[in-house]
Amino acid sequence: SLFLNNIISLGANAELITIIGDDYGKKFINSNKKLKKKINYIIDKKRPTTIKERFMVDGYKLLQLDVLKNEEVSKEIIKKINFKVKKKINKFDCILFSDSRHGMLSKKVIEEVSLIAKKMKKKIIVDTQVSNRKGNLNDYKDIDLISINDSEARDYLNDYHSQDTTIFKNLCKKLNFETIIYKLGAKGLMAKNLENFYKFPALPINVIDPIGSGDAFLSCSAISKIIDADFHDNIFISSCGAALCCTKLGTSPITIKELQSFTKQ
């Protein structure tokens, strides 16, 4: 997971709970000792390990091949997810849902894991996006921080024509969450917490590859949220993290030294 790599690369501790198939995914994780320590996987023999492979030519994406299955997980898998969450949660400050709509984060999983987090007084942070499936923002309740892209917001509101400011205003009315970040790609972002509304432009950079920038953004934002950083500082640092990621080809994580240097430019 890009989130896992970015959070660790930024100096924080993180572990991933995920689902893989009884296939190349298991072999890959087990062959890497460092990776194996950070990934708590559950094998679902009814699905392949999700893989998204890009083929690049002269810096441009020529083709993307996805291997995945979007069916929701079984009751047996949900029990295993809950067991792993309960076993690990005391070591961490928050639960981060990275929801790419491929079946693991069903409504039932979201409800039960959120309940565990709230009982243990842990923050809940969500990154959710629309891919080829309908969004599920309604499944999330009482969230500390949520990061939403423009497609997800418009899908949720069923509004594909209004201006960004209207979308954001209506989003904040419907989502009673502590912190909402509305990402607008090259146009920057809008955000709000309990005290402030904030608009931040995209940083002027030479974009090489935007893949992974959303993961870099939320990794920075999650860490800032956990340490109770000033809201404006959170937005600035997270935007720098996303911009820095866009200057790299591929999905290599940003490092704390790179981020520190970038924020001083």
At which residue do the structure tokens 């390990």 appear?
49
* The predicted structure's pLDDT at residue 253: 87
* The predicted structure's pLDDT at residue 129: 67
* The predicted structure's pLDDT at residue 131: 54
- At 141, the amino acid letter reads K
* DSSP string of 136-183, one letter each residue: -GGG--S-SEEEEEHHHHHHHHT-SSS-HHHHHHHHHHH---SEEEEE
Which of these, 256, 252, 249, lies nearest to 57 by C-alpha position?
249
Which of these, 209, 195, 202, lies nearest to 240 by C-alpha position?
202
Spatial contact of 10 and 223, defined as CB atoms under 8 Å apart: yes
User: Could you count the other beta carbons within 10 Å of the beta carbon of residue 109?
Assistant: 21
Segment (H or E) for 191: strand 189-192
The count of residues in the chain is 265
What contacts 66, CB < 8 A, 6 or more positions away?
A: 50, 51, 52, 53
Which of these, 261, 251, 211, 174, lies nearest to 4 by C-alpha position?
251
What angle is formed at CA 222 by the lines to CA 12 and CA 33, rounded to 5 degrees?
35
Paired tokens of 86: 């309960």
Rounded CA-CA distance 131/41 in Å is: 23
SS3 134: coil
Tens digit of pLDDT at every position of the chain (265 positions): 677 888 999 989 999 999 988 988 889 888 988 888 899 999 998 888 887 777 777 766 778 787 777 788 899 999 999 999 999 999 999 999 987 777 788 889 999 999 999 999 999 999 876 654 555 788 888 889 998 889 888 988 989 999 999 999 999 988 888 899 999 988 899 999 877 888 998 888 888 888 888 888 989 999 999 998 988 899 999 999 999 998 887 778 888 999 999 888 6
* The predicted structure's pLDDT at residue 90: 93
Spatial contact of 109 and 81, defined as CB atoms under 8 Å apart: yes
Rounded CA-CA distance 243/258 in Å is: 11
pTM: 0.86
* The predicted structure's pLDDT at residue 57: 75
Rounded CA-CA distance 169/163 in Å is: 10
